[in-house]
Amino acid sequence: MTKKLTYITNQVCGSGGLERVLSLKASYFSDVFNYEVHIITLNQEQSTLFYDFSKKIHFHNITVSGNVLTYFFKYNSKLKNLLEKIDSDIILVCDDGLKGLLLPVFYRKSCPMIYERHASKKIIDNKDHSSILDKVKYKLFFWLMDFGAKRYDAVVLLTNGNKKDWRINNVTVIPNPLSFNNNDVEFHDQREKIVLAVGNHGFQKGYDRLLKIWEKVISEHPDWKLNIFGKIDSEMKHLKLAEKLNITESINFFSPTKNIGKEYQKAAIYVMSSRSEGFGMVLIEAMSFGLPCIAFDCPHGPRDIISNGQNGFLIENGNIEEFSNAISFFIKNEEVRLKMGLRAKKSVQRYSMQKIAGRWDNLFKELI
């Protein structure tokens, strides 16, 4: 008898990492493992999906509005009715907010439930949280996160570093899978003078830091370009900062592209300036194309992926001088860059879809 998997998430039409990973895993579970896969979204008005999902997947959308309490109760009522109708064998919740974490508290479980966390537990934004009220609020917030997570049958985190942040015992670490077949990607030693970064323009991604790093790099290497692919914020903060730093001629800002593999093949170096990461999907993507990577040693993804000095460089979080020196080192030392890139390509074989999906399948079988 076909087993049913139901994903509960917010929206899957965007170009972010969660949407990317969900499209890959849900499609694999449906097409290869023959699970009947359902995805429940919330207020997803856009019908066009950025990433491709298997045609066999069943999509359901819940629409709610109103104040916080009305919104919450309407959502839970509609979700409960929908889950009863689907009658799942496993429910997976991909929602980094409290709404997702506390779902088992308000929904009487009829089958095993898995909480799948794609972000770091630590909240990093550009606001001042030094007041006593803020400290109390965040202590309460973290307590609620642990309280909700304990009520799941399993909590799946992406890295061992993330695991240390949670005061719970029901944790399993399963990293994200490669979005490209590593064996199908040829290693190119002819690269353009491009440094590449991929991701949205949110504060957490640290592009303000990257632009200050780039200001130092191009003073020594003016013939190189920095290409940034990602959804640009409405305020265009980083475009304005680039103008202020007088580095606009050496930077290209692009919208998300479905053919990001083409950009990985052109670039010579990949950089990640994030303040925090749940994993760092773009790192393993870049490495699968033979790109050596440079990343801040932020909580918690890069340390699990990059072996410092072997397939890239891990930089002390926030050390702009050290980061710019690492880029310059790669620019000046092409032979080292290519050797590290080849090691990078080999090192991410452990993230193949077959291996990662197999670990998920084993977890499902343990719980059912």
Per-residue pLDDT of 4-56, as tens digits, reads: 999 999 999 998 889 999 999 999 999 999 999 999 999 998 778 999 999 99
216 with 321, same domain?
yes
320 with 335, same domain?
yes
Say which residues have a Cβ less than 8 Å from residue 345's Cβ, sequence separation at least 6: 182, 185, 187, 287, 288, 289, 290
210 with 221, same domain?
yes
Q: Which position has the token pair 């990973």? A: 21
Residue type, 319: N
Look at residues 288, 259, 286 and name the one whose alpha carbon lies nearest to residue 186: 288
Position 125 pLDDT exceeds 70 = no
**CATH number for 212:** 3.40.50.2000
Q: Is the Cβ–Cβ distance between 311 and 343 less than 8 Å? A: yes
Residue type, 148: G
250 with 126, same domain?
no
| CA–CA distance, 67 with 53 (Å, rounded to integer) | 33
202 with 123, same domain?
no
341 with 356, same domain?
no
Q: Kindly give the pairing relationship between strand 293-296 and strand 269-272.
A: parallel
Look at residues 266, 252, 204 and name the one whose alpha carbon lies nearest to residue 17: 204
Say which residues have a Cβ less than 8 Å from residue 277's Cβ, sequence separation at least 6: 120, 204, 298, 299, 300, 301, 302
Q: Is the Cβ–Cβ distance between 284 and 302 less than 8 Å? A: no
Position 112 pLDDT exceeds 90 = yes
Q: What is the pLDDT of residues 296-348, one digit of tens each?
A: 999 889 999 999 999 999 999 999 999 999 999 999 999 999 999 999 999 99
DSSP label at residue 50: S
Counting the structural domains of the chain, the total is 2
pLDDT at res. 99: 87
Q: What is the pLDDT of residues 56-108, one digit of tens each?
A: 999 999 999 989 888 988 999 999 999 999 999 999 999 988 889 899 988 88
Beta bridge partners of 270: 196, 293
Q: Which two tokens stand for residue 204?
A: 């957490």
Global confidence as pTM: 0.90
41 with 132, same domain?
yes
Q: Is the Cβ–Cβ distance between 237 and 258 less than 8 Å? A: no
Beta bridge partners of 167: none
Domain interval for residue 280? 182-350
State the pLDDT confidence band at 124, using cuts at 50, 70 and 90.
low
pLDDT at res. 364: 98
201 with 346, same domain?
yes
233 backbone dihedrals φ, ψ, rounded to 5°: -70, 155
71 with 202, same domain?
no
State the average pLDDT for the chain. 93
215 with 190, same domain?
yes
Q: Which position has the token pair 């309280």? A: 147
Residue type, 199: G
Angle (CA) 25 29 32, round 5°: 120
Q: Which two tokens stand for residue 365?
A: 């079988």
**Length of the chain in residues, anyone?**
368
pLDDT at res. 186: 67
Q: What is the separation of C-alpha 136 from the centre of its chain, rounded to a whole number of angstroms?
A: 28
229 with 264, same domain?
yes
pLDDT over 70, % of the chain: 96
327 backbone dihedrals φ, ψ, rounded to 5°: -60, -45
191 with 172, same domain?
no
Tally of CA atoms within 13 A in the half-sphere of 163 that contains its CB? 15
